Structures are given as structure tokens and as C-alpha cells.
Amino acid sequence: MKFLFIIQGEGRGHMTQAIAFSRLLKEQGHELCSVILGKSKRREVPAFFTREILAPIHLVSSPNFETDSTETAILLGKTIQKNLCALPVFWKSLEKIHQIVNRERPDIILNFYDLLGGFYNFLFRPRAAYWVIGHQYLIEHPSFPFAPSKGLEKTFFQLNTRLTALGADRKLALSFLPQKNPVNSIQIVPPLLRREVKNQEIKQGDFFLAYIVNPGYGAQILNYAQANPHIKIKVYWDKKGATEVEQPLKNLSFHRVHDQNFLKDMASCKGLVCTAGFESVCEAMYLGKPTLVIPVAGQYEQACNALEIQQKKIGIASTEFDFSLLEKIPLEETKTPQEFIHWQNSWGEILQNLLTKGEVFWDSTAPSLEMG
């Protein structure tokens, strides 16, 4: 089978998922012909993605979040306004996608939660099958925990998710843990973790690790480190124009995203602090590291993730960077259930079933799990 990927360029998670999926395809003799990646003006394409995806990458202008002046909170109104003004630019992106699809003639287009993917499938009606994959599609599961909504946050999150999946032949809903699936509209699948995560040597170092999507959070971590000089912190970010390593304090260093170094540090840290995305939390789960998540202000999806993470005892949530909270998590709550590891490692079988039988068998038999 011949695949073409469309990937949202915000953050690291969708890119690492795409790398993991591309390796699954290669292991089973399938082909990834091209990758279409949504550009973000606030960050550069990480070098690890260019190095590891092993397919031609085509950058297109795609809808992005707009932040406040501190580069921490998402401004929903400004995001909608800016993206509406950029509709002519996005139409050119859709035309570019169509040119690539016509040239490559993939059997399956797999969209990693980019809005353009849904509109492309709806408007251009390609001959290829259209699949979507992401944690966000769990909103169709009756047990999905919706966070309290301010204004239209919930409505726009649901709308955005549905728009990415317009006309989708298959919706693959990534889940933190196995759970039964009483609905037919989605298929629940495990997190997509790369082999680099599974091959790490787990240690207990003397530092905490942080990963931040919005560079404005760097100032908050700096203030915390100044007030707590006994706590050692390593921060990874993809701030545009930042040097490889910056060390403003003896106990604090900022590093440009380097995936191998990041995973090595995750396997050696005392605990992870990150915004409430999906991928980094799953990696920390696999490595048995306690996790503290801080949902990005104004990003409703992350508020839902933080609620789910607490409900399932995967980690703890906070509104501020307080690394000392990680030391209060009981060790038994950081142990990785063997069922989770077995489920995550079953991706090869799941992909084969999807391509040959169109089904996922795990979610019909697996119990719902909680950490701890």
C-alpha cells in the first residue's frame, strides 16, 4: 500500500507519531511516498523530523494558533480572525496538496489532525482512501472527559476535530490506555511510540525535565528556578532563533529540541513537566516517570487532556510550574502496567488487521486500565 501523510506542524507530538507510523509501514512492506507538513511561523521544523521521516517533505501554510503577547496563552478569537484572513493562502495550500496527490497517487491519505486535510478530502474528493489519526477523535467516545468550557471553547474544539475528519473512511482514536469501544464511528488504538523510547536505559537522575510548546513559559520556569536553586531543571523547547543550549542559572538550562537527547534525558530524569499534550505524557508513562501537566491557557483540548490524565491517575495537573509536586507522587503510581506495554507493542498486528480486515480487535476485549 502507498501512503501519503498530512501532518499538523504545531508541536512535536504529531511529528513523532508520523515517524512511528512510517516505520510500521516500512516493516510491513508498505510505502510512504510523501509528507505534507503544516508550517508554523512560531517554530522551525525540528531536525529530527527531517532526518527520521525518510520521505520527501512538502511545507504548506496551514491554520495555526495565535498567542498573547507573552507567548503562553492561546487567543481563540484572534486565532479565528487571523486564519479567516488567510483563507486565500490556505486555498493555495490545498491546490499544492492536490498537485502532490495527483503526482504520487497514494492508496491512503493519513491525516495527523491538520485542518487542511479534512477540507482537501471534502473539496477535492481524491481517489485515495482518507484516514485520520489523533487522540482528539476520542471525543466521540461516551466516556471522554470534557472539561468545563469558557464560552465556545468546547464547540470550536469539537468543530475543528470534525472538520479535520470530513469524509474520513477511518478514524483512529489514540488513547492513553486500552478501553472498550461501544461506538462504531471510531477505532481505539494505542499510542504511537517510536523504538527509541522503548530502547532507553531507565535511570534515576538528579534533575527534572520540562518540555514547553509555547516559549513564553520559559520566563515562568526561570522564576521558579531562581526561587528554588536546589532544584535542577532541564528544559526543551523549539523557540525560533534560540541557540542550542542556554544556561541562565546554574540549576537551569534551555535546550533546542533534539529528540535523541530529549528521550535520553526523559529516561534519566526524576520526573517530567510539560503542557498537556498527548505524546510526551505517553512516553513518560512507558518509561515509568511521574508527570505534571500544565494545560496551555485557552487551548480547550489540553484542559480535557489534563482532566483525563488526573482521572486515570496517569499524572497530576496544575496551573503553574511547581516541580516539587512531582516529588509527592507515590512511586507505585508511576509503575507502567504490563497491559499498557503489551497493548502499545501490538501496533504491528493492529495495522495489519486494519489493512486486511478493516478492524481493530484490541478494544473489544481489553479492560479499561488505570495507572497505579
| pLDDT tens profile 111-161 | 999 999 999 999 999 999 999 999 999 999 999 999 999 888 999 999 999
- The answer to whether the beta carbons of residues 188 and 360 sit under 8 Å apart is yes
The enclosing domain of 57 has a CATH number of 3.40.50.2000
Average pLDDT over residues 69-83: 72
| Count of domains observed in the chain | 2
Same-domain check for residues 27 and 172: yes
% the chain with pLDDT above 90: 63
Domain assignment of residue 321, yes or no: yes
Same-domain check for residues 218 and 357: no
Same-domain check for residues 8 and 156: yes
Same-domain check for residues 13 and 100: yes
- The answer to whether the beta carbons of residues 309 and 293 sit under 8 Å apart is yes
Segment holding 153, helix H or strand E: helix 153-164
User: Interhelix angle for 115-124 vs 87-104, to 10°?
Assistant: 70
pLDDT of residue 73: 66
Domain assignment of residue 370, yes or no: no
* pLDDT tens digits, one per residue of 203-225: 989 999 999 877 888 999 999 99
* pLDDT tens digits, one per residue of 338-348: 777 888 889 99
pLDDT band at 371 (very low <50, low <70, confident <90, very high): very low
Average pLDDT over residues 239-256: 91
Q: Which amino acid is at 111?
A: N
Same-domain check for residues 228 and 137: no
The string over 47-65, giving b where at least 16 C-beta atoms fall within 10 Å of a residue's C-beta and e elsewhere, is ebbeebbebeebebbbbbb
Q: Cα dihedral sign for 284, 159, 355, 56?
A: negative
pLDDT of residue 55: 95
**Which range, 27-41, 66-80, 110-124, has the best average confidence (pLDDT)?**
110-124
Q: Beta strands of 227-270 (E only): which ranges?
A: 232-237, 245-249, 252-256
Same-domain check for residues 109 and 229: no
48 or 112, greater pLDDT: 112
- The answer to whether the beta carbons of residues 29 and 2 sit under 8 Å apart is no
Domain assignment of residue 372, yes or no: no
How does the average pLDDT of the chain come out, rounded? 88
Q: Which amino acid is at 245?
A: V
Same-domain check for residues 50 and 168: yes
Residue 191 has pLDDT above 90, yes or no: yes
Average pLDDT over residues 252-270: 92
Among candidates 27, 17, 25, which has minimal Cα distance to 137? 17
Give dist(CA 283, CA 197) in Å, integer.
7
What residues are paired with 288 via a beta bridge? none
241 or 127, greater pLDDT: 127
**Which range, 62-66, 83-87, 112-116, 202-206, has the best average confidence (pLDDT)?**
112-116
CA separation, residue 9 to residues 101, 114, 233 (Å): 19, 8, 27
* Weakest mean pLDDT among 42-46, 60-64, 171-175, 272-276: 42-46
Residue 270 has pLDDT above 70, yes or no: yes
pLDDT of residue 370: 44
Provide the grid cell at 116. 487542511
78 or 348, greater pLDDT: 348
Strand 252-256, strand 245-249: pairing: antiparallel
- The answer to whether the beta carbons of residues 101 and 2 sit under 8 Å apart is no
Domain assignment of residue 293, yes or no: yes
Among candidates 36, 29, 31, which has minimal Cα distance to 58? 36
Which residue range forms the structural domain that includes residue 164? Answer: 2-192+341-365
pLDDT band at 366 (very low <50, low <70, confident <90, very high): very low
Domain assignment of residue 371, yes or no: no
Same-domain check for residues 9 and 143: yes
Domain assignment of residue 13, yes or no: yes
pLDDT of residue 21: 96
Domain assignment of residue 179, yes or no: yes
Domain assignment of residue 300, yes or no: yes
- For 175, list phi and psi in degrees, rounded to 5: -130, 145
* pLDDT tens digits, one per residue of 297-306: 888 999 999 9
Among candidates 70, 86, 16, 69, which has minimal Cα distance to 279? 16
- For 361, list phi and psi in degrees, rounded to 5: -95, -20
pTM: 0.88
pLDDT of residue 139: 96
The residue assigned the cell 483525563 is 308
Among candidates 362, 16, 360, which has minimal Cα distance to 195? 16
pLDDT of residue 337: 62
Average pLDDT over residues 234-245: 87
Average pLDDT over residues 365-369: 41
Strand 291-294, strand 31-39: pairing: unpaired
Torsion of CA 95, 98, 104, 110, to 10 degrees: 120
Residue 40 has pLDDT above 80, yes or no: no
